[in-house]
Amino acid sequence: MDIIKEILKDIPIPGMVKVRQNFRAPQLEDVADAVRKTLNDTNVLARINQGDSVAIAVGSRGLADLPVLVRETVREIKRVGGQPFIVPAMGSHGGATSEGQIDVLHQLGVTEGAVEAPIKSSMEVVKIGELPNGLPVYIDRNAYEADKIVVINRVKPHTAFRGPVESGLMKMITIGLGKQKGAEAAHAFSFKYMAEHVPEMAKISLSEAPIIFGLASLENAYDKIAKVVAVPAEDLETVEPELLKAAKSLMPKIHFDEFDVLIVDELGKDISGDGMDPNITGNFATPYATGGPDIKRTVVLGLTEKTNGNANGIGMADMTTKAVVDEIIWEKGYANALTSTVIEVIKLPMVLETKELAVKAAIKTCNAFDLNKVKAVRIKNTLDIGEIWISESLIEEAKQNSNLEIISDLQELVLD
């Protein structure tokens, strides 16, 4: 590495200031009460008979207040005489094993003790139909054999395709509850057709399985719940597109349209299915989704603890460190990539010995006219961008933006 250190030794690292980003951010004061209210106001609980076994599908994403959403749903189902249990609805996540999926739920705070219901995890599925093009539709056997099924998920823009429904209840019904086989089938024709296949496959599941309602959450730009809505199964196709529009209006963003270098402290599956949400970074793994800022180089400095070595998304970075690579458990990301058929996300970026060298390599290769005036932004992760760091050359632009507030003096970039 001596030659690399020599090449990069004179590359300047800019001073930075901390900036508060402001967003429109409605927020529920009492999430538990809001869950109870929507479940009762929509009368969806009337579909549960005394003694019914009720499978509650819970995914692998780091939803805000997920244990609260699940616990209150469990309590309300019990109150009307149902016997709820949890099924992991996360496709191939958790290494595509039943034990791995339980572990993912536990890391998200969904334990039997916390949500007051048992967890039944299995990768076994039942084929319940197929599309005219031959794509099979699967569903978790434990859920299928229950008397009723309820689905809980956040509605938000997807990271790899655009359509009337993206990430949300219908996708969880199709891919999450379909386990590894269902996820594989849904991705078989690539994300190019996902916007068409997800609702069509979900319709089959809704007609063939005892799904009675979904509980959707919308999150604000600060990763807090803005709204929860119980949606009867027969209304999902019409209601979810409207929820997606509302979710998009609440999405956070980096308040700069273009800059040279993005420094990301951590990526992880608990942050985004892509490790880093491309709606925030602008680095999409497929050509079927666009948005976000124009960034020349992206550096990833770490993995989240909860991702447990799954570095899905590292391929969208340009530079990372040897320490990050040493932490990666490749089989986990490979399982996701082989299922989704998107392999760009698990490719290796340039690997540098230290964080400083990784940042310097990004600056050197960003093709800025003056490297002493490089425009750089540093974020903790793509979920936590309420406060960010910006380089000195972006300060004047920040002062002109009413959504940005400089809250620190100029400081050296501290990487360790």
What's the distance, Cα to Cα, between the start and end of the chain in Å?
Answer: 19
What would the mean pLDDT of 210-235 be, rounded to a whole number?
96
The pLDDT assigned to 1 comes to 62
Q: Which tens digits make up the pLDDT trace of 56-79?
A: 999 977 789 999 999 999 999 999
pLDDT over 90 percentage in the chain = 82
What would the mean pLDDT of 113-137 be, rounded to a whole number?
94
Q: Which tens digits make up the pLDDT trace of 247-300?
A: 999 999 999 999 999 999 999 988 888 999 999 999 999 999 889 999 999 999
Q: Which tens digits make up the pLDDT trace of 74-119?
A: 999 999 999 999 999 988 777 778 999 999 899 899 999 999 999 9
Q: Predicted confidence band at 40 (pLDDT cuts at 50, 70, 90)?
A: very high
Identify the top-confidence range among 45-59, 86-100, 183-197.
45-59
> In the predicted model, is pLDDT for residue 7 greater than 90?
yes
> In the predicted model, is pLDDT for residue 325 greater than 80?
yes
Model pTM above 0.95: no
Q: What is the chain's mean pLDDT, rounded?
A: 94
